[in-house]
Chain A
Amino acid sequence: NAGVTQTPKFQVLKTGQSMTLQCAQDMNHEYMSWYRQDPGMGLRLIHYSVGAGITDQGEVPNGYNVSRSTTEDFPLRLLSAAPSQTSVYFCASSYIGSPLHFGNGTRLTVT
């Protein structure tokens, strides 16, 4: 049972490049979310989804797109990377009333 799987683990981008961070869960959880973690800021919600085909913005959505075509997958797209998007990104899944199950994170550096 893999839980929540994120790929890649590390990524370096140049300003203006685009990329997709992958997230997959095999627990049949309804809810999935993306957080970014910066020093001293805790975890901040980027986007979340309550089911296939349904997504909504979190606290810091600018510069990111998401889609959820299946229950299992919730990719995060960076449209035009900026140095301010250098961060650690965590994907999480859950169901109603449950704790968040986090993936191992993607460490992104934008130069």
Chain B
Amino acid sequence: QQPVQSPQAVILREGEDAVINCSSSKALYSVHWYRQKHGEAPVFLMILLKGGEQKGHDKISASFNEKKQQSSLYLTASQLSYSGTYFCGTDPAGGTSYGKLTFGQGTILTVHP
């Protein structure tokens, strides 16, 4: 079953923060986060593994709550380049994904000057 992302869309001014949530009804081994610009392929942001620490990349970080089967993506001091659609991809408990991720429906993030 597809994980549920919230919110569906968010509009920010440059410099504002945002949080995107991803919730699954299944136990998870890992959660992947990707960003997709219009007309382009999804681009990898980060993986969070069961039992792993919170990840961070520049001003984008994420957390993974295994018990709640939820992950959150935190975008701090947003830049225009952060605009795009964000997807979480979930890998069920079992240890390996074999390229078999189940993706959420996406969250459209728009950053204005």
Instruction: Please list the residues of chain A having a beta carbon within 8 angstroms of any beta carbon in chain B.
Output: 31-33, 35, 40-45, 48-50, 58-59, 90, 92-94, 96-97, 99-105
Contact = CB atoms under 8 A, between A and B. Distances in A.
Contacts of B2: 42
Contacts of B81: none
**What secondary structure prevails in chain A residues at the interface with B?**
strand
B96 A58 contact: no
Contacts of B40: 104-105
A97 B96 contact: yes
A102 B43 CA distance: 8
B105 A59 contact: no
B103 A42 contact: yes
A70 B104 CA distance: 31
B41 A42 contact: no
B100 A42 contact: no
**What secondary structure prevails in chain B residues at the interface with A?**
loop
B99 A33 contact: yes
A103 to B, nearest CB: 6
Contacts of A92: 99
Contact of A48 (B32, B43, B100): B100
Interface residues of B, number: 22
Contacts, number: 64
Contacts of A58: 100
Contacts of B47: 97, 99
B101 A102 contact: no
Given A97-B96, A99-B47, A102-B41, A40 B103 contact: no
Contacts of A43: 42, 87, 89, 101, 103
Interface string B87-113: 101000000111111111110000000
A94 B41 contact: no
B99 A48 contact: yes
Closest 7 pairs (CB-CB, A-B): A31-B99, A99-B44, A102-B41, A33-B99, A42-B103, A43-B103, A42-B105
A103 B41 CA distance: 7
A45 to B, nearest CB: 6
Nearest to B41: A102
